[in-house]
Structure 1
């Protein structure tokens, strides 16, 4: 290519670049609303992962009946009603330094931390308890019911962007809530965790226990992210001496008392 042609090409490129630069400069004082809106939307989308539950969360309730889904009710069996009438709050597991169990542990006033990997999701509580959701297991171990655990055995799966957790083999000493709902070792939980924003999710729990409840029931908690850097261990001392630990405190406490069986 002749030198003059190469020079002409460079000159044309510089001229065009200069025109473009002048146009950009002329518009520099005016915001590009389309670009700003697109950038903000892209940033928000990147920040919100519906499958990311890592972080510290809180969704507390003392009384599951206050969180029942519309149309849901708790109907006790004969045995469940007998235990409900005789419940003693002095024997609440937390009062005697026993683990809270999966329901109460994630509905206490203390926050909890979720640590998530592809294979497992761990829930760590300030009461020094933990749950593990095994994401690669399709079924529970065949002998799991022979070895119940305080937090049970949990397997998880994804249904779209909803985390579904199935839990069995829960020790019967734990309570479902602070109001006095007990359960047996036949308790079966189906939990659904669904992100509603980067900093919030719903926790929907279906409770099945044919020993205590005549039919399943479902409740839901709204859970929010806490801007905490870490958990603060809340260890229970078995020599705590407040009155509730020592004195019988009969009578369950619920906003909507469970339905008793017909006599």
Structure 2
């Protein structure tokens, strides 16, 4: 009799622990299915069923040279020559390494719709690229430029966070998942607010410092710029990226760029750190070193002042 009751007790215990249709009460059945089964479209997905962007990515084109279509040229900054423009004296020694390849162009419609008076500023920027491009000084690139610089970036995504770390200058973006309201102040990387539109990850960026440029060709913006990014995963290793720029101060209308972003597939690949500040210290501050150009100039001025007195 005791053995009979023991067998009945064991049977009841197993029945209570066996999975039933009600065991997914802690999360929706659709969530459990998405986590358990591979997506039929081949796109990696999170437990909630949204595209999973986790990974290291990079744009494999030279949009950073010029967003608009452009022919190749001898250097980023040219000066008048005897017959044609020639490289600026400070970059001429770089030869082919400093030359600029042709740009395919990523602007929908071909050209950026500058207002006439703003176009002159763009041309002035290009004519003074070496002194004015913030990339040369290793300033953070801003948005959208950080995406298509010739450096990779890494996306960290979860149900409660979306974070992007960039190789260039150690720039980072923490994307708010709830609208934080107006940016409290302008910054190099601005303020990002993201949300889902179906399977598209949309990020609105405001509060961008107007010292950032859009490329090496001098294309620029003002503090009024609003960037709306859209990330569409079209396959396991490709994201179609677009960014719409709105800046009524200098653009006649909103305009959009688009390009593919590719996953880095090297085994064991890690995001390289390109913290370039130390590489530009001599260029930016070398003159202030003891015995440097600034000190010599100051001593000469003091000497001339003493002699005049």
When normalised by structure 2's length, the TM-score is: 0.59
Task: Give yes or no for the alignment of 1:94 onto 2:97.
Answer: no
- Inter-partner Cα distance in structure 1 for 2:245 and 2:41: 35
- Inter-partner Cα distance in structure 2 for 1:89 and 1:214: 24
Contact 1:102–1:131 (8 Å) recurs in 2: no
Contact 2:43–2:234 (8 Å) recurs in 1: no
2:265 corresponding residue in structure 1: 227
CA distances 1:114-171 after superposition (whole Å, capped 9, x unpaired) = 0012222111111200112112x13x424x2x51111111111111100011110000
Specify which of 176, 187, 200 is matched with residue 134 of structure 1.
176
- Inter-partner Cα distance in structure 1 for 2:148 and 2:222: 19
Contact 1:206–1:218 (8 Å) recurs in 2: yes
Secondary structure of the residue aligned to 2:175 is strand
1:64 corresponding residue in structure 2: 67
Task: Give yes or no for the alignment of 1:191 onto 2:229.
Answer: yes
Quote how far apart the aligned CAs of 1:238 are.
Answer: 2.1
Secondary structure of the residue aligned to 1:95 is coil
- Inter-partner Cα distance in structure 1 for 2:282 and 2:217: 21
Aligned CA RMSD, in angstroms, stands at 2.1
Contact 1:113–1:231 (8 Å) recurs in 2: yes
2:52 corresponding residue in structure 1: 52
Secondary structure of the residue aligned to 2:121 is helix
Contact 2:225–2:246 (8 Å) recurs in 1: yes
Contact 2:43–2:233 (8 Å) recurs in 1: no
Quote how far apart the aligned CAs of 1:173 are.
Answer: 0.8
Secondary structure of the residue aligned to 2:273 is coil
1:254 corresponding residue in structure 2: none
- Inter-partner Cα distance in structure 2 for 1:107 and 1:212: 22
Secondary structure of the residue aligned to 2:119 is helix
Task: Give yes or no for the alignment of 1:77 onto 2:115.
Answer: yes
Secondary structure of the residue aligned to 2:113 is coil
Contact 1:119–1:134 (8 Å) recurs in 2: no
Secondary structure of the residue aligned to 1:150 is coil
Contact 2:42–2:235 (8 Å) recurs in 1: no
When normalised by structure 1's length, the TM-score is: 0.69
Contact 2:192–2:206 (8 Å) recurs in 1: yes
- Inter-partner Cα distance in structure 2 for 1:175 and 1:150: 10
- Inter-partner Cα distance in structure 2 for 1:235 and 1:226: 20
Secondary structure of the residue aligned to 2:229 is strand
CA distances 1:169-218 after superposition (whole Å, capped 9, x unpaired) = 00011111222101111000011100000110101110111122111111
Structure 1 outlier segments of 4+, above 6 Å? none
- Cα 1:133–1:148 shift into 2, 3 Å: same
Contact 2:224–2:249 (8 Å) recurs in 1: yes
Contact 1:104–1:176 (8 Å) recurs in 2: yes
Contact 1:207–1:216 (8 Å) recurs in 2: yes
